[in-house]
Amino acid sequence: MEWIDGSGFRLVVFDLDGTLYDQSCIRRRMLWELGLHCLRHPGDLGELKVIAEYRQARERLADEGAQNIGRLQFERPAASLGIEPGEVAEVVSNWIEKRPLKHLRRCRFAAVEELFDRLHSTGRQIGVLSDYPVREKLQALNLTVDFIAAAADPDIDRLKPDPAGLEHLMSRAGVTAAQCLMIGDREDRDGACARNAGVRYLIKARSSEAPHHFRSYQELLRAWVGVK
């Protein structure tokens, strides 16, 4: 990992999914839960298709830099599946938002809380910016931050890599782009979002091939030892 002199940062903005917790850990648990559910309720097998279609629609909306995502994220998959947007919203609420919550704490990455404590104890503010709802997940992860923002919030209404959410957080925290650091897990979303806002960033990756990649929060804590 490249050395980033942390002393200039006043705000550190984290992505949530895949950044604060291990997504493969959640996927394994949810696949098991979904599989059991479909065995007991074979009529609900179509919900798998709804989830897949919803995820694809979200990726396309992000690529397009679309607005009205709160509505389009349900309307588009509904149109291609020939169902009502409300049905998509119900499946998403159940399988993507509510049911994973009980697994999150066990899948939280090691040393995240220590890093948050270090940032707070050295006077830094912490933000979380996600393309999905934030509040319930942070509660489930047992993490406390200063600012949160989600893509579908009315005053943002843009998915990453659009910089709207990051700029919104910087404005609320009263910091400039040079005083902000973004930490995420996707180069094409979090990394691009940071670049679009002129913000430096780090990517949590399985291998640290690029200089701005890091593998674990322990690694990040070690790199920031002594940073005031």
For Mg ion, the binding residues (CB under 5 A) are 15, 17-18, 185
- Comparing CB distances to Mg ion, the nearer of 76 and 160 is 160
**Rounded to a whole number, what is the largest CA-CA distance in the chain?**
58
Residue 184 Cβ, how far from Mg ion at the closest point, in Å? 6
State the minimum distance, in angstroms, from the CB of residue 189 to Mg ion: 7
| Least distance (Å) between residue 18 CB and Mg ion | 4
Are the C-beta atoms of residues 187 and 211 closer than 8 Å to each other?
A: no
Nearer to Mg ion, 15 or 167 (CB): 15
Give min distance, CB of 16 to Mg ion, in A: 7
C-alpha to C-alpha distance for 70 and 49, rounded to whole angstroms = 20
SS3 123: coil
Residues written for the chain: 228
Looking at beta carbons only, is 76 or 204 nearer to Mg ion? Answer: 204
d(CA 213, CA 186): 10
Nearest residue to Mg ion by CB is 18
Question: Nearer Cβ to Mg ion, position 41 or 60?
Answer: 60
Do 11 and 124 form a contact (C-beta atoms < 8 A)?
Answer: yes
